[in-house]
Amino acid sequence: MKPIIEVRDLAKDYTMGDMIVHALRDVSLTISEGEFVAVMGPSGSGKSTFMNVVGCLDRPTRGQFLLHGQDVANMNDNELADIRNKYIGFVFQQFNLLPRTSALKNVELPLIYAGTRNRHEVAAKALERVGLGQRMHHKPNELSGGQQQRVAIARAIVTDPVVIFGDEPTGNLDSRTSEEIMALFQELNEQGKTIVLVTHEEEIAHHCKRIVRFRDGRVVNDDPVHDRIRATDVLASMPDADAVEYAPKTAAHA
């Protein structure tokens, strides 16, 4: 499979007065097309720093970084912004939607930057894909937390990026809603999307196909998941399964 993220001896230092924090030290790994990776590790171990660097939000201090075959380690801010818009979708713990703006308009935003025509149709399709076809004109405060996160996922996939990054995307959601969001990520991954999620929860990580563990800025463990959890199975076994407003069908019945 084609490598999407290739990092070699990647390092990130933060300077705090006369102190240097080594947030990442000599990280080397490859993430290829179709992978579904969980990034784990204790607080302060470098997970967010890693996501910010490989997500082109921040530059490494040293080391190599190829995204989709392009050398991004030394790009300037404008070049990085272009790469982000073209290749990357982000999902955050706090959803980061524009308030007072409809779901549809929120999802159209990345298309404006990309200069896409028929934005309306493309955004509507992305919302349908996450099961929100009936809620397009709702504003974030008129949607549940899980629905808001699905809007954020629609916004992340609307430009058809090569990789989706999530930093604790289920961190603010209850367990059923988290499971529904993981079902959606699993469905997207089955359709070929490469996904990288930071999570504190083993349970969430075991929905992925591979777990990379950080400690003190280093990768200390990198293993495939053998006992993978299928979110659709978990949802089906929950007592009030009928109450599930959205559960992807393709994954379970494929």
Ligand X SMILES: Nc1ncnc2c1ncn2[C@@H]1O[C@H](COP(=O)(O)OP(=O)(O)OP(=O)(O)O)[C@@H](O)[C@H]1O
- Contacted by 113, from ligand X, Mg ion, none: CB < 5 to 8 Å by type: none
Task: Pick the closer one to Mg ion by CB: 48 or 106.
Answer: 48
Instruction: Give the shortest CB-185-to-ligand X separation in angstroms.
Output: 19
Please state, in angstroms and rounded to a whole number, the distance separating the CA atoms of residues 34 and 4.
9
Rounded to 10°, the helix 145-157/175-190 angle is 20
Rounded to 10°, the helix 145-157/119-129 angle is 130
Q: How many CB atoms lie within 10 A of CB 226?
A: 7
What residues make contact with ligand X under the rule CB under 6 A?
14, 16, 21, 23, 41, 43-49
Instruction: Give the shortest CB-245-to-ligand X separation in angstroms.
Output: 30
Closest residue by Cα to residue 89 from 173, 184, 11, 12: 184
Task: Pick the closer one to ligand X by CB: 214 or 232.
Answer: 214
Task: Pick the closer one to ligand X by CB: 29 or 244.
Answer: 29
DSSP state of 133: G
Instruction: Give the shortest CB-197-to-ligand X separation in angstroms.
Output: 13
86 close to 27: Cβ distance less than 8 angstroms: no
Task: Pick the closer one to ligand X by CB: 10 or 158.
Answer: 10
- Contacted by 45, from Mg ion, ligand X, none: CB < 5 to 8 Å by type: ligand X
- Contacted by 16, from ligand X, Mg ion, none: CB < 5 to 8 Å by type: ligand X
Task: Pick the closer one to ligand X by CB: 11 or 244.
Answer: 11
| Phi, psi for residue 131 in degrees, rounded to 5 | 85, 20
CA separation, residue 120 to residues 62, 106, 162 (Å): 41, 11, 22
Q: By CB under 5 A, how many residues form the interface with Mg ion?
A: 1
Instruction: Give the shortest CB-233-to-ligand X separation in angstroms.
Output: 28
3-state secondary structure 213-253: EEECCEEEEEEECCCCCCHHHHHHHCCCHHHCCCCCCHHHH
Task: Pick the closer one to ligand X by CB: 89 or 217.
Answer: 217
- Contacted by 19, from ligand X, Mg ion, none: CB < 5 to 8 Å by type: none
Please state, in angstroms and rounded to a whole number, the distance separating the CA atoms of residues 173 and 95.
11
Instruction: Give the shortest CB-41-to-ligand X separation in angstroms.
Output: 6
Pattern 39-78, Mg ion, x by CB under 5 A: ---------x------------------------------
Binding site for Mg ion (CB under 5 A): 48
